[in-house]
Amino acid sequence: MEDTGPGIPPEHMVRIFDRFYRAEEARTRAGGGTGLGLSIARDLTRAQGGDLHAENAPQGAKSSGGAVFRLRLPVR
């Protein structure tokens, strides 16, 4: 999945899968969320033998930036 938002600041990228972690811009009550969604998603994925990875999409002809999340699950 790929979005077209501003992406995830590099200093936050290393922690986005930590429980209760939210990037500075999302820490206000208006930003919502508990900081558990990505952690739970990765835990469930790993419990199935897979992995969930995030990276920023480079801006260019085919992309306006944003974040890319890759979900990999084993085929049984």
pLDDT digits (tens, 9 = 90+) for 40-53: 999 999 999 999 99
How high is the pLDDT of residue 28? 54
Residue 14 lies in a domain: yes
DSSP string across 14-47: TTTTSTT---GGG-SGGG---S-HHHHHHHHHHH
Q: List the CATH number of the domain containing 47.
A: 3.30.565.10
Residue 23 lies in a domain: yes
Residue 46 lies in a domain: yes
Residue 1 lies in a domain: no
Residue 68 lies in a domain: yes
- State the pTM of this model: 0.73
Per-residue pLDDT, averaged over 14-18, amounts to: 91
Domain holding 68, by residue range, is: 10-72
Burial of 7 (0-12, 13-18, 19+ CB in 10 A): buried
CB-CB contact of 67 with 54 (8 Å) = yes
How high is the pLDDT of residue 56? 85
Residue 4 lies in a domain: no
What tokens does 31 get?
A: 């930003």
- Give how many domains the chain has, as a whole number: 1
